[in-house]
Amino acid sequence: MGKSAAMSSATATPESWPWPPAMRASAAWHVAAIGAGVLVPGAWPWAIGAIVLNHALITGAGLTPRSNLLGPNVTRLPEAAAARREVAITIDDGPEPEVTPRVLDLLDAHGQRATFFCIAERVLAHPELAREIVARGHSIQNHTAQHRHNFSFLGPRGFASEIARAQDILAEATGQRPTCFRAPAGLRNPFLEPVLHRLGLSLVSWTRRGFDTREGDPAKVMARLARHLQARDILLLHDGNAARTAEGKPVLLEVLPLLLERLRADGLRAVTLPEGLKS
């Protein structure tokens, strides 16, 4: 535990969190509304309405996975990746012993790389599989310790506990400390970004997703991923919690060969996020 704690403190970011413009505007809005309520006779109903509207907008941003109103949010690889013809395939919710080894074989057969946003407690249950992911040239990043369904309702302490614990588990299992984080379902609230900043993590969402946790038709999943597919895209799929085809097969295993062949035909190269995010 002492080693893990030391690793955590060594990677913590000491600088104060740079408030995003939307959050600074929200704070100013609150001050102005309260000031109007105090100083202007009869203004309290309007002031309360303004505060409620502000909270609704902030909540809406947290429920929009690709929004950057609450802080930095990577939805595409940087411009430099376009010249390199790179995309990022990201695979969430594993490792899953029934699915992940077959995914690794498919990626190897096509000479492509992926990023696995792993649930840390699943890594604890299958550490050898996590090590194999890394040994075969892929990247493991932070997808929380437990993948809690109420994650977006947590406060600063809850976020810090869940994410820092995952950091330590993943670093100990793989020898590599994650630099990227993805929230469960992409949902969050304003308390998340300061925690990520302190832990030295970048929030990463996606350019498009296949909805493969609920869609069992490989053609429909592939159509969503391939629509306007181009360099710099970040694509989201799942090895854990994958929907099943009509034949009972995890849909990812049907979609991935189609996607990898499409990348080859378009002259695109799938790289890990740490590689693709290089400027």
The catalytic residues are 92, 238
Q: Distance (Å, rounded) from C-alpha 45 to C-alpha 66?
A: 33
Q: Residues 101-131, buried b or exposed e (16+ Cβ, 10 A)?
A: bbbbebbeebebbbbbbbbbebbeebeebbe
Place of tokens 């000031």: 35
User: Exposed/middle/buried for 215, CB within 10 Å: 0-12, 13-18, 19+?
Assistant: middle
